[in-house]
């Protein structure tokens, strides 16, 4: 029994920061602006569709491995209508247990031990764990706050990206709109990624779960760029676009050989999941565009409300172009360390945020930055701001 139970591959990933901070919020009765989930459920008719599917016995037993045909067709139609991408619902679309499983299955399917994966840092926490489970090595490329004129934002350093590629690089794991920074990669950045992938024969896995939560600029799927359709595995899910994060319905679109590879890993992770919810998400994807434009307008208002409030509370706000997160620097408050700040915040003023340094290989790059979620009711955001303003000098 000398050996610890947990594999060394997983020891750095024992608890996710999101679970830890949500538990802290519950324990202290704080307003939870940490873990990103909306405090209002998605459309009632979509919830009804799930209930109807259960009552009518649709999806209560194992659905087909690749996902129910109705949902695969709805995903293909969504990609065609929004982005002009054509995918065959039978061979080029795969339904997964959320984007999380899609990312893990893609990494497990596409990587050999020792391969290198380039990921934008700060990165979503499941990426590091997924890369480690695949026995591969992550190579971060840091998004750095731009301190130049105009609203501060994080940008991708294209020279740094290029320099990160080695003969061992197998794929780039790209997340745009980006969690936690809210960066939406622009066409120049995406074209540089595409050029590099073509030149060095790399695959790209794109995590596009915030595709519809873009306030400034536009979401451009990498697969729409020349030569990228054949080397890109695009991932999204219903959690963010339809405000049902607990349903865990995600999907992959890619050319048939890549989908077949990801499906091979997926069938031994969950095999299938969320039967009745798949029917409901197929209906959600068919909602009129006004639903998504309404969601975006609502979140834009919330972004501006929280951004203004955080600035009034003395933080330096990095205005996000997308997602439902705002990052802010706490240095102007006389604070230096985001972890210490976030651990003391519930006691001090009853608000929970997430320190972003845990999403960096180089914690110094994000030491004083914290993330707040704004997918909450206006009154909840207003109360959080009131508390932060009151607690600033404590
Ligand atoms: N990718 C990113 C960037 C995320 O922020 C999240 C969190 N919701 C996920 C993937 C996971 O998505 P899902 O809940 O569909 O697994
Ligand atoms: N994506 C959510 C966030 O960034 C959390 C999801 C999770 O807890 N795994 O807050």
pLDDT digits over 73-88, tens only? 999 999 999 999 999 9
What contacts 260, CB < 8 A, 6 or more positions away?
91
Whether residue 307 is predicted with pLDDT greater than 90 in this model: the reply is yes
Which one is the CATH code of 11-42+290-391: 3.40.50.2300, 3.90.1150.10, 3.40.50.720, 3.40.50.12280?
3.90.1150.10
Ligand 1: centre distance to CA 46 (Å): 20
Whether residue 193 is predicted with pLDDT greater than 80 in this model: the reply is yes
Ligand 1: centre distance to CA 99 (Å): 5
pLDDT of 14: 86
Alpha-carbon torsion angle 330, 333, 339, 345, nearest 10: -120
Choice between 207 and 151, residue whose per-residue pLDDT is larger: 207
Q: Which fold has domain 44-288?
A: 3.40.640
**Ligand 1 site, residue 245, Cβ cutoff 6 A:** yes
* Ligand 2, atom 8, residue with closest C-alpha: 18
Nearest by Cα to 165 from 191, 143, 195: 195
Overall average pLDDT of the 285-293 stretch: 96
Query: How is residue 197 written in tokens?
Result: 């992938």
Residue 310's SS3 state is: helix
Overall average pLDDT of the 35-42 stretch: 94
By most ligand atoms within 8 Å of CB, the mutation choice from 176, 209, 322 for ligand 1 is 209
pTM: predicted TM-score of the whole model, two decimal places: 0.96
Question: What are the pLDDT digits (tens) for 125-148?
Answer: 999 999 999 999 999 999 988 765
Ligand 2: centre distance to CA 321 (Å): 19
Residue 233's SS3 state is: strand
Q: Where are the domains of the chain?
A: 11-42+290-391, 44-288
Percent of the chain with pLDDT over 90: 92
Contact 123, 175 (CB under 8 A): yes
Q: Which amino acids bring their CB within 6 angstroms of ligand 2?
A: 16, 18, 35-36, 179
pLDDT of 394: 42
How far is CA 202 from each of CA 172, 198, 317, rounded to the nearest angstrom?
7, 7, 35
Whether residue 213 is predicted with pLDDT greater than 60 in this model: the reply is yes
Burial string for 24-46 (b: 16+ CB within 10 Å, else e) reads: bbeeeebbbbbbbbbeeebbeeb
Helices (H), 201-255: 238-241
Overall average pLDDT of the 200-217 stretch: 97
By most ligand atoms within 8 Å of CB, the mutation choice from 21, 67, 99 for ligand 1 is 99
pLDDT of 145: 81
Nearest by Cα to 26 from 352, 244, 246: 352
Arithmetic mean of pLDDT over the chain: 95
How far is CA 233 from each of CA 111, 161, 274, 311, 316, rounded to the nearest angstrom?
13, 19, 22, 38, 36
**Closest ligand 1 atom, CA of 207?**
1
Q: Which ligand gives the minimal distance to the CA of 17?
A: 2
Overall average pLDDT of the 290-313 stretch: 97
pLDDT of 268: 97
Q: Which ligand gives the minimal distance to the CA of 375?
A: 2
* Ligand 1, atom 3, residue with closest C-alpha: 179
**Closest ligand 2 atom, CA of 239?**
1
Contact 226, 194 (CB under 8 A): yes
By most ligand atoms within 8 Å of CB, the mutation choice from 19, 35, 98 for ligand 1 is 98
Whether residue 393 is predicted with pLDDT greater than 50 in this model: the reply is no
Q: How confident is the model at residue 363 (pLDDT cuts 50, 70, 90)?
A: confident
By most ligand atoms within 8 Å of CB, the mutation choice from 15, 18, 130, 210 for ligand 2 is 18
Ligand 2: centre distance to CA 18 (Å): 6
């Amino acid at each position: 029994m000398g050996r610890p139970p947990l594999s060394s591959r997983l020891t750095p990933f024992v608890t996710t920061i999101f679970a830890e901070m949500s538990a802290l919020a519950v324990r202290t009765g704080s307003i939870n602006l940490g873990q990103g989930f909306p405090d209002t459920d998605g459309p009632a008719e979509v919830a009804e569709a799930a209930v109807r599917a259960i009552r009518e016995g649709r999806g209560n037993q194992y659905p087909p491995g690749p996902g129910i045909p109705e949902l695969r067709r709805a995903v293909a139609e969504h990609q065609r209508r929004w982005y002009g991408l054509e995918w065959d619902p039978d061979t080029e679309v795969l339904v997964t247990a959320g984007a999380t499983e899609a990312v893990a299955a893609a990494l497990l399917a596409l990587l050999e031990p020792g391969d290198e994966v380039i990921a934008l840092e700060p990165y979503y926490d499941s990426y590091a764990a997924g890369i480690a489970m695949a026995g591969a090595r992550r190579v971060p490329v840091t998004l750095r706050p731009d301190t130049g004129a105009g609203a501060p934002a994080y940008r991708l350093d294209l020279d740094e990206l290029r320099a990160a590629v080695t003969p061992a690089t197998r794929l780039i794991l790209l997340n745009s709109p980006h969690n936690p920074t809210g960066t939406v990669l622009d066409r120049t950045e995406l074209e540089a990624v595409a050029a590099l992938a073509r030149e060095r024969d790399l695959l790209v896995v794109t995590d596009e779960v915030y595709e519809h939560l873009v306030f400034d600029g536009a979401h451009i799927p990498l697969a729409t760029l020349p030569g990228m359709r054949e080397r890109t595995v695009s991932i999204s899910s219903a959690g963010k676009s339809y405000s049902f994060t607990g349903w865990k319905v995600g999907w992959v679109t890619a050319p048939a050989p890549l989908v077949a590879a990801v499906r091979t890993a997926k069938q031994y992770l969950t095999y299938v999941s969320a039967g009745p919810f798949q029917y409901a998400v197929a209906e959600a994807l068919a909602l009129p565009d006004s639903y998504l434009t309404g969601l975006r307008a609502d979140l834009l208002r919330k972004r501006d409300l929280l951004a203004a409030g955080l600035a009034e509370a003395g933080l330096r706000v990095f205005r996000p172009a997308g997602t439902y997160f705002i990052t802010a620097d706490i240095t102007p408050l006389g604070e230096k360390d985001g972890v210490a700040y976030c651990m003391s915040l519930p006691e001090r003023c009853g608000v929970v945020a997430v320190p972003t340094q845990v999403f960096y290989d180089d914690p110094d790059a994000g030491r004083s930055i914290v993330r707040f979620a704004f997918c909450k009711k206006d009154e909840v955001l207003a109360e959080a701001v009131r508390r932060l303003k009151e607690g600033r000098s404590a």
